[in-house]
Every structure is written in C-alpha cells, then in structure tokens.
Chains A and B, each alone.
Chain A
C-alpha cells in the first residue's frame, strides 16, 4: 500500500509541475510550432520579450504598484497579526472573519463592487485604486505570514522586559519588533509576488496606466507563441525565486529564537 501511495504522490506532483515544465521546454525550442520533435535550442524568444518596449513599460508599472502594495499590506498585516496573536482584543471573531473575507469572496464580485464604489465616490480609476484594491486581497496572506512568526515568540520575554522596568511601548520596540522583523520582510516579499501576478481585480480598477498582467492578458487569451511562453516562464521563475527568498527569511526568524 505504501508503494502505491508513493507512486500516487509522485504522479500528483508531476501533474502539478507538468504545465510549467511544458512552457519552459517550448520557450527554449527553436521553432514557432509547439510540437514534439525539438528543433534545437534557442534563447531568441527571451530576447524578443526583453526587447519589447510595451512590455517593459508594463513591467515597470507592475514593479511600482507591487512595491507600494507590499508596504501597505505589510503594515496593515502587522497591525492585524499583533492584534490577533499578541495583544488581546475585543471583537476578535468578527475581525478574523472580516480579514479572511476578501480571500473567499469571488474576486470578480469584489471587483465590480469596488468599481461601483469608485464610481459613486467620483474617484477616477488609476494606479491608486489598483493599490487599494490589491491591498485588500493581499492582506489575508501578509497577516498569516507575520502571525506565523509572532506565535513563535516567547511571551516570557515581554514579561521579563516589564519586570526590568520597560514600558509597554519600549518593550515592543526593543523586544517584539526585532523578533518580528524577518516576518515583516517575508510578508513584504510574498505580498509583492501576489500583487504582481494579480489580474482580475486589477483589470477592473486600473485606468490608463496598465500593469503587465492586464497588458498581456489579451495576448494570453488569443495567441499561443513561444515568446509568450518565455514571458510566462520569466514571470513564474521570478515569482518562485522571490517566494523561496521569503520562505528562507521566515524560517531564519524561527531559528534565531530556537
């Protein structure tokens, strides 16, 4: 039974990586046709993407949006995680539901709701509305990352600081904050990745300046081409590298305590 299970697990993981492996393979194949006899190795699909000015502009927009969304989500996520896991608070249950709701509500429904709000409030759609909207759906994840670091901090340290005469604020600044710093950094990176690859919400609330995901959506929708494969591969590996970095930072936050 154990061998059958091992085989099953391998098969499932192969399924999870099959699509990514395929686009990676054909992004390196020297032919416009994506079919099995490989025609040889090439990097010119990557050169095509990197030389495309329209994509370059979208990429810069994405970077600046993701940079700011990651800061907003990390600051709010830190406040939420502290309130949920460190300092007792009133209305904890409803706060948790409110925090998780954006993760479970269908994104398109949240998108049309925000569209109506911005419309009623007379706010023109811009990168500002994109940043606000994305922060809402990234917040559950950044809170989770920071909370996972906070719950490993020994409460005894706070008591010790109080016994030594530290005020609540100085105990926080000199004990809790240094211990949660890695959690904040990990949250920033995860939020950056989630923001940069978000599409449905972004498409609804973005104005004239369009991030990369909105820009390439119609290409992805209507065309198949090796240079789109190359673009997708760069996005995937960029994201994976950043997430690996965040995970490394988060784990070191644990080890320093251990």
Chain B
C-alpha cells in the first residue's frame, strides 16, 4: 500500500518534469531532423543537419574545443581541490562545516555577477591593469588579460572548483585512516601510500567531481562569452546564434542533441568507472 503513496506523491512532479523538461528536449530532437526553407521551418525529416555537423571542420573543432576546455578545467580543479578536500575531511576538526559553507557561498552570487567581477579584475580598464600602470610596471594595459582563453579558464576554474571539492570531500570522508596505518605498518613510504592507497580509494570522488565539472564547463555559455573575446566562440554560443540571428533552429537543435548524446555517453562511462572503482575500494 505504501509503495502507492510514494508513487502518487511523485506523480505531479513527474508530470511537471515531463511537460517542461522531457517534452521540450524531445521536440528539440524532432526539430534536429527538419530544415529551414527560406524563413519558415520545413517539416521534412532528413539526416542533413547531422551530416552537415559531421562534415564541417568548424563545428567539429568547436565540439573538440568544448571537450578540451572541460577536461582541462576538470584537471586543474582536481589538482587545486585535492588538498583542500583532504584538509576539510581530515584536518579541519571543528571548522569543517564552516569551511564547507564558505566554499559554497560564492556560488549563490549568481553566474552573471561572478563573471562581471572577473571583468572588473582583469579588464583593460580593470583593477589589475590600472594598478599596474599606476605602479609603473607597464605603460599600457596588458590586453591579453581579458578577452583571452586565459581569462576564460581562470573564471571557469573559479566557477566550478567548489563542485570538485565537494565530490572529493565525500570520498575522503569515507576513506578509513586504518588503511593508511596498515600500509605504513607494511612498510609503504609516503608517495607509495598515496599512489597505491589514497588515490585509488578516492578515485570515485575524483571521477564524480571531474564529470560534474566537465559537464558544467562544456555547457557554460556566459563565461566564455563575457571573458573570452574572440576566443569566446563555443559550441554552446554557436547554438545560441543559430536560434537567434542566424535563424536555423533545426541545425541548432542537431548540434544541441549531438552534445547531449556525447554528454550522456560520458555519464554512462562515469557511472561504470565509479562502480568499478568502488568495488576495488570495498575489496
């Protein structure tokens, strides 16, 4: 009887999500097979849009660039976040929940404000450039600071680091220190304890955090747009243009679904990897 209660409770939520999340994505999928005929959409299905994407060096390049950025930022946040997560889980003591809260607070300022803040810091008229000129370090603003891949990746790292730290922190919380003592008793030195005990046991967190950061970087529209300048053209901004000025909804839909399909494949792979690595941890 109570299994029914849960199902009834979930039903309105399910209906809402199907109406405003699943249905739109299915219509988007249908659109990806249509084409634009002058200024109207012609409902005449074909694989032409997908063929166009596969045959276009530009779109292939943009997709690869998105995945490159995602992987790069996932790696940077992992390196920066690993010691932080370890410290919060194992060394912070009474400060643990304060540190976790402090880590998440900047996320609530909203993406627009965060990107704006980086423009204030890095812009040609911004704090760093103006102050360097005032201090006499340079005569003219360093243009490469803003509107560059560097600026974009600094801000992307800033945006998504907390998610990586949370993923790793969960893994460190479930890491039993007895494993380390046992390894030490058996004569393992520091680096080998790290490589053969700590790293494998925290790898589920690394994969989960990495996947989360990767997906969010790939899907980020604002950050490259506002900080990347000419380098800020991404596959996501290409979708935006196709739905706006370029008016080719079907092609935009096909690119969007290409991205969704690849991201779903990454998730499936991640789930398999996490399951396998937690099996190693449990053994």
Taking Cβ atoms with an 8 Å cutoff, the residues of A that contact B are 2, 5-6, 8-9, 12-13, 15-20, 22-23, 26, 33-37, 76, 79-80, 82-84, 86-92, 95, 98-99, 101-102, 104-110, 112-117, 120, 132-133, 135-136, 139, 168, 193-194, 196-200, 213, 216-217, 220-221, 224, 228-229, 232, 235-236, 239-240, 243, 247
Is the CB of B16 closer than 8 A to any CB of chain A?
Answer: yes
Give bound CA distance, A5 to B115, whole Å.
Answer: 28
Please give, as numbers and ranges, the residues of chain B lying within 8 Å of A112 by CB-CB distance. Answer: 28, 239-240, 243, 249, 252-253, 256
Q: Which 7 A-B pairs have the closest CB atoms?
A: A106-B219, A197-B110, A89-B6, A35-B130, A19-B117, A113-B24, A87-B6
- At the interface with chain A, which of B121-129, B173-181, B198-206? B121-129
The contact of A98 among B17, B91, B118, B162, by CB within 8 Å, is B17
The contact of A35 among B24, B131, B161, by CB within 8 Å, is B131
Give bound CA distance, A108 to B125, whole Å.
Answer: 30
Is the CB of B86 closer than 8 A to any CB of chain A?
Answer: yes
Cβ-closest chain A residue relative to B234: A108
The contact of A232 among B117, B126, B212, B240, by CB within 8 Å, is B117
Give bound CA distance, A117 to B103, whole Å.
Answer: 37
Cβ-closest chain B residue relative to A94: B14
Which interface class (under 10, 10 to 19, 20 to 34, 35 or more) fits B?
35 or more
**What are 21 A-B residue pairs whose CB atoms fall within 8 Å in the complex?**
A9-B88, A12-B81, A12-B161, A16-B103, A34-B126, A35-B127, A76-B13, A91-B7, A98-B22, A101-B21, A104-B267, A105-B21, A105-B219, A110-B24, A112-B239, A116-B31, A135-B20, A220-B115, A232-B116, A240-B109, A243-B108
How far apart are B216's CB and chain A's nearest CB, in angstroms? 8
Give bound CA distance, A106 to B221, whole Å.
Answer: 8
A15→B101 contact, CB < 8 A: no
Give bound CA distance, A20 to B116, whole Å.
Answer: 10
B259→A224 contact, CB < 8 A: no
Cβ-closest chain B residue relative to A13: B102
Cβ-closest chain A residue relative to B256: A109
Please give, as numbers and ranges, the residues of chain B lying within 8 Å of A193 by CB-CB distance. Answer: 108
B21→A34 contact, CB < 8 A: no
Cβ-closest chain B residue relative to A190: B108
Give bound CA distance, A76 to B17, whole Å.
Answer: 10
Please give, as numbers and ranges, the residues of chain B lying within 8 Å of A120 by CB-CB distance. Answer: 27
Please give, as numbers and ranges, the residues of chain B lying within 8 Å of A16 by CB-CB distance. Answer: 102-103, 106, 158, 161-162
Cβ-closest chain A residue relative to B26: A113
Q: How many A-B pairs with Cβ below 8 Å?
A: 246
Give bound CA distance, A225 to B86, whole Å.
Answer: 40
Please give, as numbers and ranges, the residues of chain B lying within 8 Å of A20 by CB-CB distance. Answer: 106, 109, 117
Is the CB of B143 closer than 8 A to any CB of chain A?
Answer: no
Please give, as numbers and ranges, the residues of chain A lying within 8 Å of B10 by CB-CB distance. Answer: 79-80, 83-84, 89, 91, 95
Instruction: State which residues 197-234 of B face A: CB under 8 Å.
Output: 212, 215-216, 218-222, 226
Cβ-closest chain A residue relative to B24: A113
B121→A18 contact, CB < 8 A: yes
Given A23-B117, A193-B108, A216-B112, the answer on whether A108 and B131 have CB atoms closer than 8 Å is no
Give bound CA distance, A35 to B120, whole Å.
Answer: 10
Binary flags per residue of B125-141, CB closer than 8 Å to A gives 1, else 0: 11100110111000000
Given A108-B236, A197-B112, the answer on whether A76 and B12 have CB atoms closer than 8 Å is yes
Known: A113-B256, A239-B109. 9 other contacts (CB 8 A): A8-B87, A9-B87, A19-B117, A35-B133, A36-B127, A88-B3, A107-B221, A224-B126, A229-B120
B110→A198 contact, CB < 8 A: yes
Please give, as numbers and ranges, the residues of chain A lying within 8 Å of B71 by CB-CB distance. Answer: none
Please give, as numbers and ranges, the residues of chain A lying within 8 Å of B131 by CB-CB distance. Answer: 35-36
A199→B121 contact, CB < 8 A: no
B108→A239 contact, CB < 8 A: yes
Given A19-B114, A87-B5, the answer on whether A26 and B222 have CB atoms closer than 8 Å is no
Give bound CA distance, A114 to B24, whole Å.
Answer: 5
Please give, as numbers and ranges, the residues of chain B lying within 8 Å of A229 by CB-CB distance. Answer: 120
Give bound CA distance, A2 to B108, whole Å.
Answer: 30
The contact of A22 among B80, B83, B115, B120, by CB within 8 Å, is B120
How far apart are A107's CB and chain B's nearest CB, in angstroms? 7
The contact of B134 among A36, A106, A199, by CB within 8 Å, is A36
Is the CB of B40 closer than 8 A to any CB of chain A?
Answer: no
Please give, as numbers and ranges, the residues of chain A lying within 8 Å of B102 by CB-CB distance. Answer: 13, 16
B9→A79 contact, CB < 8 A: yes
How far apart are A109's CB and chain B's nearest CB, in angstroms? 5
